[in-house]
Chain A
């Protein structure tokens, strides 16, 4: 399939820290308009994989092609066209929401920043938060601001690491609905790392199950559930996690 149809292609991605292999020869691709779920327990290698895709971490081996470019050699050719949201980073706490987003709009070179910010302000219901310091917002409000930052450049590839962690069910549901609508309109490729099985089941057309740095299974959620003879993706996840415990 062409680079345009498969904006994210990963082949044999590996990361070793000394003797420890955090990610072991992982391969996958994400098509335009597709949401791929990255599922796994703590230490499965999800965040390490996303960090490599973003260029925050250099792989030990493997290739990453993002929007047709070699992400390891030429990451700056694509960084303006992708974006991410992660609980491991934050925006300056003392700056107001508006100030933070204005800065990132300038960093990403938005040609009509004011209009884009006004749109996001309305779409993500940020009006009441606009002049408040980012550090004084609740977890749910901060997630909305973080999402606004991630969508500022209308990315062609969006990487989301635990986007609904620490959100109440209502806010989490609102966020998922919003993401679904945005992706339908945008046709972006989304890679979603999450512990939340219901979320993955709802948003993702395909799932990679990771364990100890390896992809141990993959497929559409319904197919995985059927193959493991279970009722939910959570039960599939537990089967895989407990296989580890039994092997140990």
Chain B
């Protein structure tokens, strides 16, 4: 029978609610971004370029410092590992925000907003894309570090999984904050997506311990999960000890920031619906 004479199309399982329906909608948005990545080698190249470049630069710095620093000599991979963990935070946040911006740039946000896709499902799909983009960017750099400098981030062992989770969750919280800002003020705020992580860099203790910071800044630093992750990394690489207390602290702070990020995004989405910004945001 032709489309013009066909009976009504039923939704999956007669309803569009439930976990299965949510997963299907999330996978639809992920598929959209997978098509974009698959069809654009410059995008794939850009994902890998900066992590590789950072790793090469810091690898040579490490080779130099090995000759003059006993600290570096005792844990040769500490700088390269710090770089790679930092890239997880940076690439994760950028992957989240860019995936959102792709919808804004293509004026597709209106189509998504009137589809059955719930806002939390949209956020979940952005998290999946953030994870994919991060792995595509950081894994080649991590493998190259082993090949070039014999410095393996995987030497952290099982805690690496915990560090990765703590950093990627924080990157999602930051991404949600960035997207909330873009929803409120429009594309004028898109450059924040590239800048926001660097505000945290000085107090995240990536390349130096928190104790180096002034007293008042140390208080700020310990309010971030990133400081706990990088202190935990140093504890393993320098002292050979795993600090579960630091990882737990990172997870608890992550939960707090994720709740704040999601709250900001959902509130901005509500305000955008009140002010009619969803159709105008890409213009």
Chain A interface residues toward B at CB < 8 A: 17, 48, 51, 54-58, 76, 79-81, 83-84, 86, 88-95, 99, 102-104, 106-111, 116, 119-120, 122-123, 149, 151, 153-154, 156, 181-182, 184-186
- Cβ of B70 < 8 Å from any Cβ of A? no
Residues on B with beta carbons closer than 8 Å to the beta carbon of A79: 16, 114-116
Whether the pair B35, A80 counts as a contact (CB closer than 8 A) is no
In the bound assembly, the distance between CA atoms of A176 and B279 in angstroms comes to: 25
Which partner residue on chain A sits nearest B32 by CB separation? A103
Whether the pair B9, A95 counts as a contact (CB closer than 8 A) is no
In the bound assembly, the distance between CA atoms of A86 and B27 in angstroms comes to: 25
24 A-B residue pairs with Cβ-Cβ distance under 8 Å, sorted by A, are: A51-B279, A56-B276, A79-B115, A80-B116, A89-B107, A89-B109, A92-B32, A92-B102, A95-B36, A103-B31, A103-B35, A106-B25, A106-B27, A106-B28, A107-B25, A108-B11, A109-B25, A109-B116, A111-B11, A153-B11, A154-B8, A182-B4, A185-B5, A185-B6
In the bound assembly, the distance between CA atoms of A86 and B273 in angstroms comes to: 17
**Residue among A95, A102, A106, A154 facing the most chain B CB atoms (10 A cut-off):** A106
Which partner residue on chain B sits nearest A183 by CB separation? B4
Q: Could you tell me the distance in whole angstroms from the C-beta of A220 to the nearest C-beta in chain B?
A: 25
Q: For the A-B complex with A48-B276, A55-B113, A56-B279 known, give 18 more contacts whose Cβ atoms are closer than 8 Å.
A: A56-B110, A56-B114, A57-B273, A57-B274, A76-B116, A81-B11, A89-B279, A90-B106, A94-B36, A95-B36, A99-B32, A103-B32, A104-B28, A106-B31, A107-B115, A116-B3, A181-B4, A185-B6
B1-30 interface with A by 8 A CB criterion: 2-6, 8-12, 16-17, 21, 24-25, 27-29
Given A51-B276, A56-B276, does the pair A91, B113 have CB atoms closer than 8 Å?
no
By Cβ-Cβ distance, the 8 closest A-B pairs, closest first, are A89-B110, A106-B28, A119-B3, A154-B9, A185-B4, A109-B12, A90-B107, A92-B106
- Residue A17 contacts which of B16, B118, B275 (CB distance < 8 angstroms)? B275
**Residue among A83, A94, A107, A151 facing the most chain B CB atoms (10 A cut-off):** A107
Chain B interface residues toward A at CB < 8 A: 2-6, 8-12, 16-17, 21, 24-25, 27-29, 31-32, 35-36, 39-40, 102, 106-118, 270, 273-276, 278-279
Residues on B with beta carbons closer than 8 Å to the beta carbon of A54: 113-114
Residues on B with beta carbons closer than 8 Å to the beta carbon of A51: 276, 279
Residues on B with beta carbons closer than 8 Å to the beta carbon of A181: 4
In the bound assembly, the distance between CA atoms of A56 and B278 in angstroms comes to: 7
**Residue among B5, B114, B117 facing the most chain A CB atoms (10 A cut-off):** B114
Given A56-B273, A56-B276, does the pair A107, B4 have CB atoms closer than 8 Å?
no
Which partner residue on chain B sits nearest A15 by CB separation? B276
In the bound assembly, the distance between CA atoms of A151 and B6 in angstroms comes to: 12
Residues on A with beta carbons closer than 8 Å to the beta carbon of B108: 89-92
Which partner residue on chain A sits nearest B276 by CB separation? A57
Whether the pair B111, A149 counts as a contact (CB closer than 8 A) is yes
Residues on B with beta carbons closer than 8 Å to the beta carbon of A104: 28, 111, 115
Whether the pair A89, B115 counts as a contact (CB closer than 8 A) is no
In the bound assembly, the distance between CA atoms of A149 and B28 in angstroms comes to: 14
Residues on A with beta carbons closer than 8 Å to the beta carbon of B16: 76, 79-80, 109
Residues on A with beta carbons closer than 8 Å to the beta carbon of B36: 92, 94-95
Which partner residue on chain A sits nearest B1 by CB separation? A119
Q: Could you tell me the distance in whole angstroms from the C-beta of A23 to the nearest C-beta in chain B?
A: 11
Q: Could you tell me the distance in whole angstroms from the C-beta of B215 to the nearest C-beta in chain A?
A: 47
Q: Could you tell me the distance in whole angstroms from the C-beta of A26 to the nearest C-beta in chain B?
A: 16
In the bound assembly, the distance between CA atoms of A154 and B6 in angstroms comes to: 9
Given A80-B11, A92-B32, A154-B9, does the pair A108, B279 have CB atoms closer than 8 Å?
no
